[in-house]
Every structure is written in structure tokens, then in C-alpha cells.
Amino acid sequence: MTTMKTIGEVREAIAAKKASAREIAAEHYKRIAARNPEINAFLTLCEKRAYAQADRVDAMVAAGKPLPPLAGVPLAIKDTISTRGVRTTCSSKILDNYIPPYDATAVVRLEAAGAVILGKTNCDEFAMGSSTENSAYGPVKNPVALDRVPGGSSGGSAAAVAADLAVAALGTDTGGSIRQPGALCGLPAMMGSYGRVSRYGLIAFASSLDRIGPLAQSVADVAQVLQIIAGRDPNDSTSTTAPVEDYAAGLAKPVKGMKIGIPKEYFGAGMDAGVREKVEAGITLLRKMGCDVMDIHLPHTDYAIATYYIIATAEASSNLARYDGVRFGPRVEGDSLIATYRKTRGAGFGAEVKRRIVLGTYVLSAGYYDAYYLKGQKVRALIAQDFREAFQKVDVIVTPTSPVPAFKLGERVNDPLQMYLADIYTVTGSLAGLPGISVPCGRIGGKLPVGLQVFGPAFGEAKVLRLAHAFEQAGGAAL
């Protein structure tokens, strides 16, 4: 069977009866069996659930019924997103045997649209990392270059799509964890505005930052998946009532005359020369497309990494307190309740999770709350204000996604600061609650992908997708 890379190709084959949904699912499981031992993208497969959904789609075809938008499309789900009856571990030993009794809202909406859920993808433990090397079940390898990382924390989702093991996937983004793996694996990957997609069923890392979003082979497919999972959910009080635009219809709108801001703060020291060359070529292409490109300033950008790691770790410290051997996770008995907590968490959590819990507990502790956490929230407000002021002058903001291409496995595992700096261009939009997409922008040496990042104003997903789609159609990936 010919490899089907897009939603349109799958739906066309099924509608024309060139292939059944069951056959397409089986072909993807065959590819998973062949490649997953090498790249380690999937942790858990759910064949019974997938084939049951595929059979429902095939029954609709046989009955001549109209097909839903994702009919028979094989999808992968990051292992931090709850799936009823399917093991969900957050890539942590402390949730090794956890089977959720319910589905996340995003999963419910995907299956209602006809999607076939193949399984759960590997990630950094509790989504804490930038390389998917922090998984308790082993690192993920980048299908583009097997000696390199796929990015993180949604590295398994990115690798699954890049290796054609799934047509699209859901990841989660707290500080860049969808966009950065998309960039490193050569895929369009999007984070909607905070509140655009329900977080119900997403196992929390940092509740004021976490978001669910899609990765796919094309911007059009990203737009279609986002359209389906977006919108108000009564189960999530942080989900917005703001209307969801028709993202697919908006892709065809012209971008000529669109005002694009280029912040100088994103082009300083520390950027790989190859990344700089490709991103600058991407900006030149945007000019050729008729966009009005102008320089802007986001003056508080330099404080973003420190601010993010104060706020995110503080929220992680609070959220992960529930894993104590009493309420969730395996229990390791100690001589006292405190000893039980200590032994359970010591055995269940990995080094990076422990590091962030300790850091977060410190910044929340008496005597340090005002100096760190409260000040971090004030700087977060300033970063958001920078963006609001910029969007009074421009329609979207364009930056690099990652300062470096995919780095080698093991290269940064013993240097947490260097690992954290991999998110230097993505955390700003996360702190400000804005939508952002990474779209492929050439390859260094014809091999290692580079990502161009597009930020839009709050709930301006349509603008972001329109520019990303136009850039893709203009040949941005081939720069």
C-alpha cells in the first residue's frame, strides 16, 4: 500500500474504496512493528480500539453515509493525554500501571470526527524536557538522523509522524514542547492560544502553561486537527468561549500586505549559523511573497527563560504532590508516612522531574515566594505586554523556533542549563498565552531541519495558520 502522508490522501482512498480504514490501520501497525524498535516513538498500542473505530468507518462507507472529516485517519496521542482503558504513563515509572477511566476531551473529539487512535507516544517524563531523553522508557531517536534527538517533550509524537507511523499526532506544549520537536523533525506543529483547546484529561505539568496541539505533515492538516479539538468545554473552566474560526477556509486568503514583525532579541548570540542562514532566507521569502516585514522590539525577552523555569517548576511542584503512593502510583512502604512518600517518589520519579520539583518547592517556600515566584509573575505580565504592544503594529511575529538544529543524543543530558536554553525562542509565547506554529524552513546541509516560528495575537490562530500555509506553499521547506 502506498504511504499516505496527509488527511486528504486517507479520506480520498477510503471514500473511493481504494483502501479500507481497517487496511490503512493495519498498514500503519505493520510500519510501527518494523520501525518502532529503532526509534522508540510509541510506548503503548491500542489495536483493539483502533480496529473497532476503523470498522465503524468502513461500515459508514458500505452504507453510503457521509464521512466525518477525519474518517479512518491514523493518529498518535502523547502519553500525557488520558485515554480510557489505555495505559497512560507520562513516560514515568510512577504511573507505569495507570489506566485512565475516561478520555481527554481532545481524544473524544478526534474519535467523533472518525480518527483512528493507534496508540500512545513516548515523551519526556511528565513533559519535562527538550529532547525526549528523560523518559523512563528510553529516549526517542529522530527519524531524520538516528544519532540525534527529536526534540521534546513531544518527541515521540513528532517522530511518529516524521517516520510515517501516523498521519498526525497530538502533543502538549508548556514552553515549546510541540513546536520545538516539530522544528527538529521537519514538521508543522502548532500550539493554540491558552484556552483554545480543552485541557480536560491532560495530566498536568504547569496548569497555567500546558496546552494540547497537533503535529502533521502539512499546515492544512494541522489546521484541520486544531479545528476539531478547539472550542469551549464545560469540563475545563479555562477553555474559552471565543468562537472557533474556519481555519481551513482561511488558509487560501492572501498574505500580501500582511505586516510581519521581526524581533531583534531573537537573533543574538547563541544561534547556530546554519539556523540563522535558513531563517534569514525564510524572511527573504516572506518579503518576496509581498509581506511587509519590519523590525520590532520585545524588550523583556532576555528574562523569559528564568521566568518560565520559576513559574513552570512552581506549578509542577504543586501538581506532582499528588503522586505519593496513596492517591496515585505504586507504593513503596517506609517506616512512616513521610518515609513512604520519600521512597515512593524516589523510586518513581526520574532525575529531571525531581530537579524541577525541588526548584519549584524552593521558589514557593516561605521567604522566597515574593523574591522569585511573585516577581516571576510580574515579569510574565511584562512579557505579555511586550507582545500586546507589538501586535498593535504588526499582524504576526516571526522568529526562529530553536536556536540549534537537532543535537546528538546524550550531548546535553548532563548540562541542564544548555537543555533549558533550547526553549529560548518558544517560552515567550507560552508565557503570554499566544498561539504559535513552527513550520519547516529548509535543512542544514540538506539533512537537519530548521523551523520558522510564527506567533499571532491571542486567538489569532487563523492569521498564524494562513501565513504558515502560504510559506509552506511558497517552498519554505526547501530553502
Residues known to be catalytic: 78, 153, 177
Of the candidates 210, 212, 159, 148, the one whose C-alpha atom is nearest the C-alpha of residue 182 is 159
Say if strands 448-455 and 436-444 run parallel, antiparallel, or are unpaired: antiparallel
| Residue 208 CB burial class (10 angstroms; 0-12, 13-18, ≥19) | middle
Of the candidates 50, 57, 60, 54, the one whose C-alpha atom is nearest the C-alpha of residue 86 is 50
Of the candidates 404, 416, 215, 171, the one whose C-alpha atom is nearest the C-alpha of residue 305 is 416
The three cell numbers of residue 420 are 533549558
What gap in Å lies between CA 341 and CA 431, rounded to an integer?
Answer: 32
What gap in Å lies between CA 147 and CA 124, rounded to an integer?
Answer: 17
The three cell numbers of residue 75 are 493518529
What gap in Å lies between CA 74 and CA 476, rounded to an integer?
Answer: 26
> What percentage of the chain's residues is helix, strand, coil (to nearest 5)?
45, 15, 40
Q: Which residues pair with 216 in a beta bridge?
A: 168
